[in-house]
Amino acid sequence: MNNRHITIPSGFKAAAVACGIKKSGKHDLAIIAADTDASAAIVTTSNQIFGAPIAWDRQILPKGYGKIRGMVINAGNSNVCTGKQGFCDAKAMAARTAKHLGSKPEKVLVASTGVIGRAMPMANVTAGIDSAAPGLNTKSDHRVVEAISTTDTRYKSAVVQIRLGGKNVTVAGIVKGSGMIAPSLATMIGVITTDAAVAPALLYKLLRQAVRTSFNAVTVDSDQSTSDIVAIFASGCAGAKEVKDGTAECKKFFAAVQEVCDALAFSIAADGEGATRVIEISVTGAHNDKEAQMAAKSVADSPLVKTAVHGADPNWGRIAMALGKSAAKVKAEKLIIKIGGTKIFAKGTGCKCDLKKISEMMKQNVVKIDCELGQGKGKFTALTCDLSREYISINADYTT
Amino acid sequence: MNNRHITIPSGFKAAAVACGIKKSGKHDLAIIAADTDASAAIVTTSNQIFGAPIAWDRQILPKGYGKIRGMVINAGNSNVCTGKQGFCDAKAMAARTAKHLGSKPEKVLVASTGVIGRAMPMANVTAGIDSAAPGLNTKSDHRVVEAISTTDTRYKSAVVQIRLGGKNVTVAGIVKGSGMIAPSLATMIGVITTDAAVAPALLYKLLRQAVRTSFNAVTVDSDQSTSDIVAIFASGCAGAKEVKDGTAECKKFFAAVQEVCDALAFSIAADGEGATRVIEISVTGAHNDKEAQMAAKSVADSPLVKTAVHGADPNWGRIAMALGKSAAKVKAEKLIIKIGGTKIFAKGTGCKCDLKKISEMMKQNVVKIDCELGQGKGKFTALTCDLSREYISINADYTT
């Protein structure tokens, strides 16, 4: 596959350049463009403090979906808490990109990640757009991912191909996340492209649904970014008939989108700051799905659980504690906890089991924790990573 | 003062012994006894997974207050997740202590802290009660605090004396908290004694009020114990007239209780696992007090804020992020953030200020963060500590 990803679906081009926003000299600006206006949908952060690019994107897509020509993304400066100038800069980025694409500012999404509270270096950004645009091509590679990444230690992409109405359809995605450049925030930016034909409103519905159990199921440190955005574009260039809601084709297409989102979300957890392993927390038997989500997230966000996993310590007490403090209904007597598939807590107390063996299992790359609440049929799976000294180093040792 | 504390108020005796619950051989069982039945009130954990002693205490004080003769506390085993036997053991501890005090089991509170999920070593506990009870005396010292502590690195007590109706009245307290013995949970146990005369129901009301802005304002790692309890006893032995609700005396007495709770709560934050400094987060101008509390706790629980303070990094972006993700209403344009009294964020962006100077201030023992939300008159102050590598070491390096 030669590292290709978001330009595998036909109808898209991409380009990346290094224009000096990152001090490291690495690639820091990318343009993703559709050949003609594509169906598009976005899901953005729920943090009340959000960046100027988020404000711009919400202005041009007030319902969260519509027709979009392209997206410009930079890393190194998040354009958050930059006042009115910040909004003008985001808009100017869209306008400059639109000019090159022969489109309008209102057809270009903007995403920025990196240091916050500092004015965008617009001279660099403008020059970057001008030099990237002529290079738009269908050979997207790791440099495009590099350009949207900050301190990510891995480049994250995923590609799924399906047959849809007799045609080959591709869904591809890239994401950056959970690394950060101090004094900034961990941010998540995801871009998904597909050559399926899907109306904007349906695309939005499917994206929201896929995000719920993928990106929204990941927590690295319970902190929530001011810049998070996931965007999906559908070009329709595969030649397959339009995907209609409620059909078998829609189900198949959704499964592909979900698979790409799941793979990208997993890669974020695996690349969590200081992470040495991924923790997958499945809650079943909750009163309803919402309570399952609250319970799973409470375990995923617990520093005591995360440090225990880091130490490969099968400490079910901390898991029970984290479930008990959540807003989900939990009763010790009905609760069953498994680590790595082995029952370790049931009937209100610890089970007889080989703790050393469980501890050995916990040294693997993925640790599975299953919690059956015995209250109903609600279920949710959350992803997180362990909490290590390295997390502290990454986040404390920078001094302004 | 010779380290005396909870027996300074007249009408109380205490004793501590080492009976082998802690492997270290340190003191691990304490009895606190009133000479006659005292007014008493308790506030217990809101975690749905709670220990057998909590279940016992709630059974004998279903309203949270009543008349109580004494309390038996042990450290080294928390009697949490121990099934039906655990409850029998807690009750047996109360019964054994009551026998020595010439009282009934239903007049004795029980609190346990330490390892969870293991049966109480009742032979040791019973022998401990038998050997402690005859030694009850009015010279309580650090050994009583040691007996209720686990890995606390400091012994925490506070004493306040006031004049009430022409008499000297004392309010004294001890607390353990934020240390833990793996594979257990951070737990908080507080005992406050006073020789003021206060009816149980009023005592309960005042305790709840004092706890709200003291113990409930402390967060070390957002995890919530299964064993938390704060108990207050009023003997009436000072000879002052009974404190009545709504009087000037009540106000004065409440202030003393609040002062003791505040001092103890501060000492918990200062002794937070791996803490090198205390962080005091004051939120003002929230829509209401509840929103102020949510906003302050969101900042206090944020690993990114806590690591930034550990690194003495004046990273206002993370503070703004933590406020923005809370359920409290926040708008960047109305928000003002100060660190150590210096305005660092206002009008939606960073202020011009000497970041190096602020960083120097952040190396002190107490770092103050003030957040004015500009939404109303709600206010709340939360206490926490920084997040250091040592926290990870304490919580990850134990292996079962």
Listed range (A146-160, A365-379, B192-206) with the worst mean pLDDT? A146-160
User: Is the confidence at residue B398, as pLDDT, over 60?
Assistant: no
Rounded mean pLDDT, B231-235: 97
Is the CB of residue A49 less than 8 Å away from at least one CB of chain B? yes
Among partner residues A84, A307, A330, which is closest to B395 by beta-carbon distance? A307
What does the block give as tokens for A375?
């209250």
Rounded mean pLDDT, A70-90: 94
Query: Given pLDDT bands bounded at 50, 70 and 90, which one contains residue B178?
Result: low
Q: Which residues in A lie closer than 8 A to residue B312 (C-beta atoms)? A: 399
pLDDT at A358: 94
Q: Give the HSE-up count for residue A114: Cα atoms under 13 Å, Cβ half-sphere.
A: 26
The percentage of residues in chain B with a pLDDT greater than 90, rounded to a whole number, is 70
Percent of residues in chain A assigned helix, strand, coil, to nearest 5: 35, 30, 35
Q: Rounded CA gap, B57 and B49, in Å?
A: 15
- Can you tell me whether residue A249 is helix, strand or coil? helix
State whether A313 and B83 contact (CB < 8 Å): no
Q: Quick one: which of A260, A300, A60, A82 has its CA closest to A169?
A: A260
pLDDT, mean over chain B: 90
Is the CB of residue A400 less than 8 Å away from at least one CB of chain B? yes
- Complex ipTM above 0.85? no
B291-319 pLDDT, tens digit per residue, is 999 999 889 988 888 888 999 999 898 89
Highest mean pLDDT: which range of B202-206, B302-306, B318-322: B202-206
Q: Which residues in A lie closer than 8 A to residue B303 (C-beta atoms)? A: 221-223, 303, 391, 395
Q: Rounded CA gap, B69 and B38, in Å?
A: 6
A12-52 pLDDT, tens digit per residue, is 999 999 999 999 999 999 999 999 999 999 999 888 888 99
Bridge partners (DSSP) listed for residue A229:
A44, A189
What does the block give as tokens for A254?
């959704």
Rounded mean pLDDT, A235-250: 96
Mutation target vs B (from A151, A325, A329, A344; most B CBs, 10 A cutoff) = A325
Is the CB of residue B387 less than 8 Å away from at least one CB of chain A? yes
The active-site residue, picked from A45, A150, A170, A187, is A187
Query: Given pLDDT bands bounded at 50, 70 and 90, which one contains residue A185?
Result: very low
Rounded mean pLDDT, A359-365: 93
Q: Which residues in A lie closer than 8 A to residue B323 (C-beta atoms)? A: 48-49
Rounded mean pLDDT, A158-166: 93
User: Is the confidence at residue A335, as pLDDT, over 60?
Assistant: yes
Q: Rounded CA gap, B390 and B151, in Å?
A: 13
pLDDT at B222: 59
Residue type, A371: C
Q: DSSP string covering B136-182, please?
A: -BS---HHHHHHH-SS-SS-EEEEEEEEETTEEEEEEEEEEES---T
State whether B222 and A302 contact (CB < 8 Å): yes
Is the CB of residue A327 less than 8 Å away from at least one CB of chain B? no
Among partner residues B223, B315, B320, which is closest to A49 by beta-carbon distance? B320
CB proximity under 8 Å: B 92-111 to A = none
Active site residue A187: yes
State whether B323 and A49 contact (CB < 8 Å): yes
How many CB atoms lie under 10 A from the CB of residue B332? 22
Going along chain A from its start, the domains and CATH numbers come out as: 12-270 (3.60.70.12), 278-396 (3.10.20.340)
B115-156 pLDDT, tens digit per residue, is 888 999 999 999 999 999 999 999 988 899 999 988 788 889
Q: Are B6 and B32 in contact, with CB atoms under 8 Å apart? A: yes
Q: Are A76 and A106 in contact, with CB atoms under 8 Å apart? A: no
pLDDT at B17: 97
B244/chain A closest Cα distance in angstroms: 36
Is the CB of residue B388 less than 8 Å away from at least one CB of chain A? yes
Q: Rounded CA gap, A374 and B87, in Å?
A: 22
pLDDT at B246: 96
User: Is the confidence at residue A306, as pLDDT, over 60?
Assistant: yes
User: Is the confidence at residue B185, as pLDDT, over 60?
Assistant: no
Query: Given pLDDT bands bounded at 50, 70 and 90, which one contains residue A182?
Result: very low
